[in-house]
Structure 1
Amino acid sequence: MDFNVRRLAADAGTFLSRAVQYTEEKLGQAEKTELDAHLENLLARAESTKHWTEKIMRQTEVLLQPNPNVRMEEFLYEMLDRKVPTRANNHELLGECMIDSGHEFGPGTAYGSALIKCGETQKQLGSAEKEFIQSSAINFLTPFRNFIEGDYKTISKERKLLQNKRLDLDAAKTRLKKARVADARSAAETELRISQSEFDRQAEITRLLLEGISSTHAHHLRCLNDFVEAQTAYYAQCYQYMVNLQKQLGSFPSSFSSNNNQSLASASGGISVPSAPAATASLPLPAPGQASPALNELRSNSGTRKARVLYDYDAGSSTELSLLADEVITVSSVPGMDSDWLMGERGNQKGKVPITYLELLN
Structure 2
Amino acid sequence: MAEIPIRFANLGCAEIARKLSRAVILSPNSTLYAVGSRSLDKAKKFAAENGFPPSAKIYGSYEAVLDDPDVDVVYMPLPTSLHLKWAVLAAEKKKHLLLEKPAALNVGELDQIIGACEANGVQYMDGTLFMHHPRTAKMEEFISDSQRFGQLKTMHSFFSFTADDNYLKNNIRVKPDLDSLGALGDIGWYCIRGILWAANYELPKTVTAFRGPVLNGAGVILACGSSLLWEDGKTATFYCSFFSNLTMDLTVVGTKGTLHINDFANPRDEITSSFSAASETQFKDLLTGWVPLPSQHEMTIDLPQDACMVREFSRLVKSIKEDGSKPECKWPNISRKTQLVMDAVKESIEKGFQSIQIEAY
Q: TM-score, normalised by structure 1?
A: 0.19
More helix, by proportion: 1
More strand, by proportion: 2
User: Larger relative CO (CA 8 A, sep 6+): 1 or 2?
Assistant: 2
